[in-house]
Structure 1
């Protein structure tokens, strides 16, 4: 369920992109990978065995270009991903692996709901981990020139796992983007954060829930997760608020938000922490306060709607109520959203790819234009805004 690029992994790949060629003949590309591997000190015979059966996978490219689910607004997306069965299963898994979650909380500071939500969304608690050949996926995406800086280093990380006996280039399978196991980790993440959670002497993220959960907890900690702190909290917002203050670009002490009349629907506001106000569907829809840990979610996945849904589901798994959907104005979808993005780009805004997805760049541009036009600047694009433009 991930959407790429992953910000945390990009930081690992900060070498010269120019040196990382892509495209051209696939067989020539593989030969170049093999040459680079041996230049890095890997044994030539081992490298030959590792790449012997690699093939380009067109289904990987099709999956990469088919991520339309992320065009859905938050309420629709959340209702699609969070079923009563998933919630009940998550609660049950929390009890079943209570000792593992206690260990994760003690050693890595990550609350159980956070990992349960990822476990649910990524593989339905391990039930479907993907059936793409992992090496084929990684090499195919490295050869494709859209994001070689992300995927090419993962090929060499997989080679390291192979040398350690933890990766089979023919039999290892996972998601279309090369992630492996119950919480879907890329090879570099496994090398750096893999944990033998069940004590059997090996890290098996496909078959051992304890290994997968412990590894996921360690990875989140390495990405900056702050122990003992919340990540997201649903709030009620007064109609008199200056809507231009909403969005992840603005942070204030949570106590300042409280002074503006924002009140939590569940629990107490974490007054000592910096926070942002999120209105995923504008001023008439649901509202949340996002704390520093919320930003760590974007190191796992960069889709705003996925991140918000995962963070909200983590709260639900720990006892929070169903969010108040409110009565948001109808948003834009498909070609309307693309038309809006083109208009924003024409005005000089960086909205990224014209893809019909309301990502961070589009939200920021929408909010700026709303303010410029004297409209409520809540970053929620509507037909009224499109018509004004």
Structure 2
């Protein structure tokens, strides 16, 4: 869920460029039984025993027990484990899928995803009404997350979570993350919510119909169907309610929207378009910001704070995003993901179309090019505070400073044209 390397649609997203990682899923896990009755060796027959890994499992036992995992649970759940080479390969060789935001949204908002979501809203109407009443979160937003994370429960992950996390912990590159998630996974098993062989998910440990990582599960998963277990794998009610609980705890405002497409006034200072620059709707209205169709911003939202989002820079659509958009970002800190959730939730009821055109002549920068852009900016005196290929706040601010100094719209948007200009110095 909140881990940056996830199955399904995930994102490290940077101003219109979406970096996607897709994993092959198997069929959803079968119905789980509670309790642990015997050691369960999650061993691949084609992977020989690894003495070093066995020693790691033995040494990690002390750490797990100190964290509250009971010895019988650890011994039975971790018995017979061996490392999964596919997990190590996935971690070290993640392909870089660079899509412009409009390409990502076209996939996320496909006709099939919309129609399937509408069907789910109908078939789960009573449960969703109860969930909406309990947590105050728009049911359509919850279903949109369900659709993006697992195609409404169809693809929930085909790997054993314990084995994947133990492999990552043993391998060492993601050791701290893997250890914390492995301990959380063992506590989930200890609570009786799922058995080790039924705890299926992604190679990075995201689980269930709405793809929670174990630590997030421990905090936010709920037993909404009342069977005594929090089962996000097989119970749609538990998965959807858990998602609503997470959004509620992340600041979701009941009865409010996530935002809307807007039209910016002529001469607008694009440096104002940053998620850190929040103003009231009334203030944005006074600055000349209007709805995409030219109408006035809704007065009902005047008291809400909002920020301008330019997912593809000043040449593309502009959105005014409200606090509920920030709550979606707590689920996945990707502006394009949050935008997809919001728009998909609207598509279910015949809205959510984008009026403005995307700059389809732009090509997203590859990671090596983003690193080159950061180096060039820093060398030119606009420090990006590091070279990592991720266009975050510091890099956007460096781009804005450069753009202002050279008479360009200061939207902080990285593109090939900007890189060429810097390289021509």
The verdict on a shared fold, with TM-score over 0.5 as the criterion, is: yes
Separation of aligned partners in 1, 2:2 and 2:221: 19
TM-score, normalised on structure 1?
A: 0.86
Separation of aligned partners in 2, 1:342 and 1:189: 36
* Paired positions, count: 369
Separation of aligned partners in 2, 1:46 and 1:348: 50
Equivalent residue for 2:409? 376
Structure 2 counterpart of 1:271, from 298, 302, 312: 302
Alignment of 1:325-364 (within 5 A): 325-328=356-359, 330-334=362-366, 335-344=368-377, 346=379, 347-350=382-385, 353-354=388-389, 358-364=391-397
Equivalent residue for 1:105? 132
Equivalent residue for 2:24? none
Change (3 A) 1:61 1:263: farther
Structure 1 counterpart of 2:106, from 65, 79, 88: 79
- Cα offset for 1:159? 1.2
Separation of aligned partners in 2, 1:61 and 1:111: 38
Separation of aligned partners in 2, 1:43 and 1:312: 45
Equivalent residue for 1:4? 4
Change (3 A) 1:383 1:202: closer
Separation of aligned partners in 2, 1:330 and 1:157: 43
- Does the alignment pair 1:165 with 2:192? yes
CA RMSD in angstroms, aligned pairs only: 2.6
CA offsets, 1:138-192, max 9 Å, x none? 2233344444443322211111122222232234211222122111112233233
Separation of aligned partners in 2, 1:101 and 1:286: 32
Larger displacement relative to structure 2 (172-181 or 123-132) = 172-181
CA offsets, 1:43-88, max 9 Å, x none? 323321121133322322443452523x322111101222101011
- Cα offset for 1:327? 4.4
Unaligned 5+ residue runs, structure 2?
Answer: 7-51
- Cα offset for 1:129? 0.5
Change (3 A) 1:345 1:226: farther
Separation of aligned partners in 2, 1:142 and 1:290: 38
- Does the alignment pair 1:317 with 2:348? yes
Runs of 4 or more off by more than 6 Å in structure 1?
Answer: none
Separation of aligned partners in 2, 1:361 and 1:304: 16
Equivalent residue for 2:94? 66
Alignment of 1:129-140 (within 5 A): 129-140=156-167
Please state which structure has a larger fraction of its residues in helix.
1
Q: Is the Cα–Cα contact under 8 Å of residues 55 and 136 in structure 1 kept in the other structure?
A: yes
Residue 129 of structure 1: SS of its match in structure 2? coil
Structure 2 counterpart of 1:228, from 244, 252, 255: 255
Q: Is the Cα–Cα contact under 8 Å of residues 365 and 415 in structure 2 kept in the other structure?
A: no
- Cα offset for 1:304? 3.1
